[in-house]
Amino acid sequence: RVMSLGLMNNMEELNGGGEIYVQKYPKLKLRLVDGSSMAAAVVVNSIPKGTKEVVFRGNPTKVASTVVFALCQKGVKVVVLRAEEHSKLVKYGVMIKNLVLATSKNYSSKVWLVGDGIREEEQTKAKEGTLFVPFSHFPPDEIRKDCFYHSTPAMLVPKSA
């Protein structure tokens, strides 16, 4: 049997990403999935081919760390604007090689990975034509008319289903 955690029921703070269920019912033969790997794959595939650098800004989550890990493996430089976000990503086990903590506020990348915690004034510092790709449940407010905003990670059910 498989149990899938819903969108708002898989937060680390809420139930340990579902771990609480496994601990509470150890003899229950159940495989627990939360969809974070699939969401991460959707985010990674939303980033334009040929991208060499992205800016990361938002609260690091399981999905975010998986996305950053995949991008680092592909050789994409991930510029993290805040030291606390950088250290959380390192704690998640993200490869250090292409994960860079910006020593100055480097807003030059045309692709931004954004999650909960990004502020409006940070968006205003992005270059014209920047693509904001959300990795969280909720998209950022679209305050820039000269930039592009990707939708939150989602997939369509095939018509054949």
- Domain-wise residue ranges, the chain: 2-33, 36-149
| Residues making up the chain, counted from first to last | 161
CA–CA distance, 112 with 124 (Å, rounded to integer):
12
Prediction pTM value: 0.78
- pLDDT tens, residue by residue, 1-54: 666 666 556 566 666 666 777 788 778 777 767 778 888 889 999 999 999 999
**Assigned CATH topology for domain 36-149:** Rossmann fold (3.40.50)
Q: Longest C-alpha distance within the chain, in Å?
A: 55
CA–CA distance, 86 with 106 (Å, rounded to integer):
14
In terms of DSSP H, where are the helices of 10-96?
A: 12-15, 19-24, 36-46, 62-73, 83-91
**Parallel, antiparallel, or unpaired: how do β-strands 2-4 and 31-33 relate?**
parallel
pLDDT at position 158 is 66
